[in-house]
Amino acid sequence: MPVGTAGSVKALSPNDVEGAGAEIVLANTYHLWVRPGHERIKALGGLHKFMGWKGPILTDSGGFQVFSLREKRKVAEEGVNFRCLVDGSKRFLSPELAVEIQEALGVDIAMAFDECIEWPASKDRVAESTARTTRWLKRCQQARKNSDKTALFGIVQGGFFHDLRREHIEELSSLDLDGYALGGLSVGEPKEELLSMVDFGAPLLPFNKPRYLMGVGYPCDIVEAVIRGIDIFDCVIPTRSGRFGHLFTSQGRINIKNAMFKDDPNPLDPLCTCYTCAKFSRAYLRHLHISKEALAPRLFSLHNITFYQRLMQRLRAAIEGPEGELEALRVEAWGWQSRFGEAEISGENK
Amino acid sequence: MPVGTAGSVKALSPNDVEGAGAEIVLANTYHLWVRPGHERIKALGGLHKFMGWKGPILTDSGGFQVFSLREKRKVAEEGVNFRCLVDGSKRFLSPELAVEIQEALGVDIAMAFDECIEWPASKDRVAESTARTTRWLKRCQQARKNSDKTALFGIVQGGFFHDLRREHIEELSSLDLDGYALGGLSVGEPKEELLSMVDFGAPLLPFNKPRYLMGVGYPCDIVEAVIRGIDIFDCVIPTRSGRFGHLFTSQGRINIKNAMFKDDPNPLDPLCTCYTCAKFSRAYLRHLHISKEALAPRLFSLHNITFYQRLMQRLRAAIEGPEGELEALRVEAWGWQSRFGEAEISGENK
């Protein structure tokens, strides 16, 4: 899912996002609640109409944003008090309000309001917080008024402790939610910790419900997680990297600022069919970036999103394809992590 | 002509610009010379290919940019020495080099390198400078090596003195250029001074050559100038205003920041067919602008460029249309200058 925090996938129009192959986007409960306000969006016909997106929308619950505030928040059983970064106001977010906001937005998938804690954290702290997340999830379920329209996904916590993860997954599985996310990951831990927790947790999730790994990741991380049974991802990497001129290609990662592209007449990625690659040379794209032209972040985001969507299409095909196709794609995706030029020299990416 | 200073109409793709109805764009010799360099662009196949624009391109000569540097330049008969704002380098621009750059870019219309001076200026100073512009123009003509591909337009100076303007127009007319621009206007003078000089100068220009008024203007200014015989315009107003959320509509000028649009479900301009107006509400567009979303300047620039192109289409139709149509359009265009809401209250714009 491309990330459209404030109701817009940064620098891209809904047409661009659809053209890149995306079928669903993520928006942020917290941001839309603060500005322009969920009631305003509801009065204007809901988030789909507001942002001009016809496909499904998933919203996170605001839990992760509140968690990111760190010293500016105070967590209690009732909910979280915090100082808003956007307008400086004192605000209070609870499971009930998170559901109310998401139902007012009229999104297709709402995420339960969870407590996401820091890494590392002691086992006691993780256990206490995970138990609260369960109580909050039950309050989310109680608060639903429009469950026909808006699905509810639960978020599994449990930190990096296997027994706590397993217990929480079992607890949440018994609640028959519409889907399950592995939460509390991508919070600063080493990549091996994350993958090992996906390794451990994914097979325990209900096999007949969508499994969502929040906030991951690089193309190779996505492939590794898909192999471990994950279905859904959201990540700001393609758009955020794009704004910095960091581009994913079948020949490795490109930093478009690099002087080696000054006179390069080739498309960013010869294997890509996006507008950016169909129309412009690396030399021109470098020029746009260096000149801080507004077209640059747009063309780069479009390319990166297209690259990610193409990866997801290939993953779906590989899962249904012949033996070995998924493994071949895994090897290929790790090759994309190399810097452009390096893989060519070593011949690994031929 | 939408303005694509550094080889990109800010925030818009070539597809957007074409979709807005534009047939020709302007790019800046000075900017492209400094970065990425005309020789690089030539080696990459010329400016059309570089920026992905199939239609005609006109480049200004760099004279106006050098003029804008004020204390950082030194004008001599040979050319202009100046300190470059982009990279801090010492540079020298001459009529010969201005032609060489524009021919290397492979543009369809090159502008002669002129001296553009400040307003107000004494008659002696204007006379001296205008004579130099003529000598520079002749050097531009001499320097041409690709006149089959790249047309050359002369720029009429003469400041705000009728006799100097008349003399310069007569002098340049005898040189049989491909087109003529009224230069040295839009340099800080009151709007009446500008229009009065167009009034005076336009009828004196060769009637069988395109007439170009540089750097103008608001929709009503364009209508007034067309009525006086001008054919071609360039102006940053639609894109620059767009980036600030200042929008032209058939109901008057909109500052999208205005709180009155917070809950407004209507399109920016109900009479406009651009993507921005077809797809989004004023409330959403205001939200994008307030949230500093990168999509905002793009949607706004697209709308404003479309508004300007639609005006030019209507002007062409009105010139060939029944008596009174052009005058009606003139009245209408002055109505667009009012702020949104005001004209409705007074009923003038119904």
| pLDDT value at A350 more than 70 | no
* Percent of all residues in chain A with a pLDDT value above 90, rounded to a whole number: 88
Does B178 lie in the same domain as B244?
A: no
| pLDDT value at A348 more than 70 | no
- Set of chain B residues whose Cβ sits within 8 Å of the Cβ of A15: 275
> Which residue, among B85, B240, B287, B302, would best test binding to A if mutated, counting the most A CBs under 10 Å from its CB?
B287
Q: Is the pTM of this model over 0.90?
A: yes
- Set of chain B residues whose Cβ sits within 8 Å of the Cβ of A295: 8, 10-13
Q: Would you place residue B348 in the very low, low, confident or very high pLDDT band (cuts 50, 70, 90)?
A: very low
- Dihedral angle sign, alpha carbons of residues B34, B40, B46, B47: negative
> A7 in a domain, yes or no?
no
Yes or no: say if B214 and B184 are a contact pair by the CB < 8 Å rule. Answer: no
- Set of chain B residues whose Cβ sits within 8 Å of the Cβ of A305: none
What is the pLDDT averaged over residues B244-263?
Answer: 97
Question: Which residue in the set B52, B275, B286 is minimally distant from A280, CB to CB?
Answer: B52
> A244 in a domain, yes or no?
yes
What is the pLDDT averaged over residues A228-243?
Answer: 96
> A1 in a domain, yes or no?
no
What is the pLDDT averaged over residues A45-59?
Answer: 98
Peptide bond between residue A217 and the one before it cis (omega within 30 degrees of 0): yes
Query: B96: distance to nearest CA of chain A, Å?
Result: 25
Interface of A with B (CB under 8 A): 6-8, 10-15, 35-36, 40, 43-45, 50-52, 262-263, 265, 275, 279-281, 283-284, 286-288, 290-291, 293-295, 297-299
pLDDT in tens, A98-118: 999 999 999 999 999 999 888
Predicted pLDDT of residue A162: 96
> A33 in a domain, yes or no?
yes
> Which residue, among A15, A34, A261, A293, would best test binding to B if mutated, counting the most B CBs under 10 Å from its CB?
A293
Q: Compare B342 and B101 and report the one with higher pLDDT.
A: B101
What is the pLDDT averaged over residues A90-94?
Answer: 95
pLDDT in tens, A261-285: 999 999 999 999 999 999 999 999 9
| DSSP string for residues in A207-260 | TTS-EEETT---HHHHHHHHHTT--EE--SHHHHHHHTTEE--TT-BEETTSGG
What is the pLDDT averaged over residues B90-111?
Answer: 97
| DSSP string for residues in A259-285 | GGGTT--S-S-TT--SHHHHH--HHHH
Place of tokens 């364009």: B222
Under an 8 A CB cutoff, do B36 and A12 touch?
no
Under an 8 A CB cutoff, do A15 and B275 touch?
yes
Q: Would you place residue B40 in the very low, low, confident or very high pLDDT band (cuts 50, 70, 90)?
A: very high
Under an 8 A CB cutoff, do A40 and B295 touch?
no
Predicted pLDDT of residue B333: 97
Helix, strand or coil, per DSSP, at residue B188: coil
Q: Domain count of chain A?
A: 2
> B181 in a domain, yes or no?
yes
Q: Looking at the annotation, which residues of B are catalytic?
A: 60, 234
* Percent of all residues in chain A with a pLDDT value above 70, rounded to a whole number: 98
What is the pLDDT averaged over residues B41-45?
Answer: 98
Nearest CA in chain B to A13: B295
Q: Which of A60, A108, A221, A231 is catalytic?
A: A60
- Set of chain B residues whose Cβ sits within 8 Å of the Cβ of A299: 13
Does B253 lie in the same domain as B169?
A: no
Yes or no: say if A162 and A198 are a contact pair by the CB < 8 Å rule. Answer: no
A234 among known catalytic residues:
yes
Q: Would you place residue A343 in the very low, low, confident or very high pLDDT band (cuts 50, 70, 90)?
A: low
Predicted pLDDT of residue B70: 72
Question: Which residue in the set A7, A286, A291 is minimally distant from B287, CB to CB?
Answer: A7
What is the pLDDT averaged over residues B17-28?
Answer: 98
> A4 in a domain, yes or no?
no
Query: B280: distance to nearest CA of chain A, Å?
Result: 7
Predicted pLDDT of residue B343: 52
Does A311 lie in the same domain as A200?
A: no
Question: Which residue in the set B6, B43, B50 is minimally distant from A291, CB to CB?
Answer: B6
> B72 in a domain, yes or no?
yes
ipTM of the complex: 0.96
- Set of chain A residues whose Cβ sits within 8 Å of the Cβ of B280: 52
Query: B64: distance to nearest CA of chain A, Å?
Result: 20
Tokens, residue B331: 């009245």
Question: Which residue in the set A35, A265, A293 is minimally distant from B8, CB to CB?
Answer: A293
The closest alpha carbon to A163, from A130, A135, A137, belongs to A130
Predicted pLDDT of residue B221: 95
| Average pLDDT, rounded, for chain A | 94
Q: Give the ranges where B321-341 is alpha helix by DSSP (H).
A: 325-336
Q: Would you place residue A68 in the very low, low, confident or very high pLDDT band (cuts 50, 70, 90)?
A: confident
Question: Which residue in the set A11, A52, A279 is minimally distant from B279, CB to CB?
Answer: A52
Question: Which residue in the set B40, B50, B291 is minimally distant from A35, CB to CB?
Answer: B291
Q: Note down the domain range covering B85.
A: 14-235
Yes or no: say if A78 and A18 are a contact pair by the CB < 8 Å rule. Answer: no
Helix, strand or coil, per DSSP, at residue B97: helix
Nearest CA in chain A to B42: A263
Does B288 lie in the same domain as B229?
A: no
What is the pLDDT averaged over residues B15-34?
Answer: 97
Under an 8 A CB cutoff, do B6 and A283 touch?
no
Does A286 lie in the same domain as A152?
A: no
- Set of chain B residues whose Cβ sits within 8 Å of the Cβ of A50: 281, 283-284, 287
| pLDDT value at A226 more than 90 | yes
Query: A201: distance to nearest CA of chain B, Å?
Result: 37
Predicted pLDDT of residue B350: 35
Question: Which residue in the set B35, B52, B294 is minimally distant from A10, CB to CB?
Answer: B294
Does B56 lie in the same domain as B151?
A: yes
pLDDT in tens, B203-214: 999 999 999 999
Under an 8 A CB cutoff, do A295 and B44 touch?
no
pLDDT in tens, B296-344: 999 999 999 999 999 999 999 999 999 999 999 999 999 999 999 875 4
Nearest CA in chain A to B279: A52
Q: Would you place residue A200 in the very low, low, confident or very high pLDDT band (cuts 50, 70, 90)?
A: very high
| pLDDT value at B63 more than 50 | yes
Predicted pLDDT of residue A66: 83
Yes or no: say if B153 and B110 are a contact pair by the CB < 8 Å rule. Answer: yes
Does A229 lie in the same domain as A259?
A: no
pLDDT in tens, B269-284: 999 999 999 999 999 9
d(CA B118, CA B121): 6
State the CATH number of the domain containing residue B38. Answer: 3.20.20.105
Predicted pLDDT of residue B72: 80
- Set of chain A residues whose Cβ sits within 8 Å of the Cβ of B298: 11, 13, 294, 298
d(CA A37, CA A69): 20
Of A235, A265, A293, the last residue of a domain is A235
Under an 8 A CB cutoff, do B51 and A284 touch?
yes
Does A204 lie in the same domain as A80?
A: yes
Does B222 lie in the same domain as B99?
A: yes
- How close are the terminal C-alpha atoms of chain B, in Å? 29
> B311 in a domain, yes or no?
yes
Nearest CA in chain A to B281: A50
Under an 8 A CB cutoff, do B43 and A263 touch?
yes
Does B30 lie in the same domain as B80?
A: yes
Helix, strand or coil, per DSSP, at residue A109: strand
Of A209, A235, A261, the last residue of a domain is A235
Does B249 lie in the same domain as B228?
A: no
**3-state DSSP percent of chain B in helix, strand and coil, to 5:** 45, 15, 40
Of B235, B269, B291, the last residue of a domain is B235
What is the pLDDT averaged over residues A13-23?
Answer: 98
| pLDDT value at A346 more than 80 | no
Predicted pLDDT of residue B186: 86
Under an 8 A CB cutoff, do A283 and B36 touch?
yes
Q: In whole angstroms, how far apart are CA A219 and each of A105, A123, A199, A305, A331?
A: 30, 31, 17, 11, 11
Q: Would you place residue B347 in the very low, low, confident or very high pLDDT band (cuts 50, 70, 90)?
A: very low
| pLDDT value at B346 more than 70 | no
Does A247 lie in the same domain as A228?
A: no
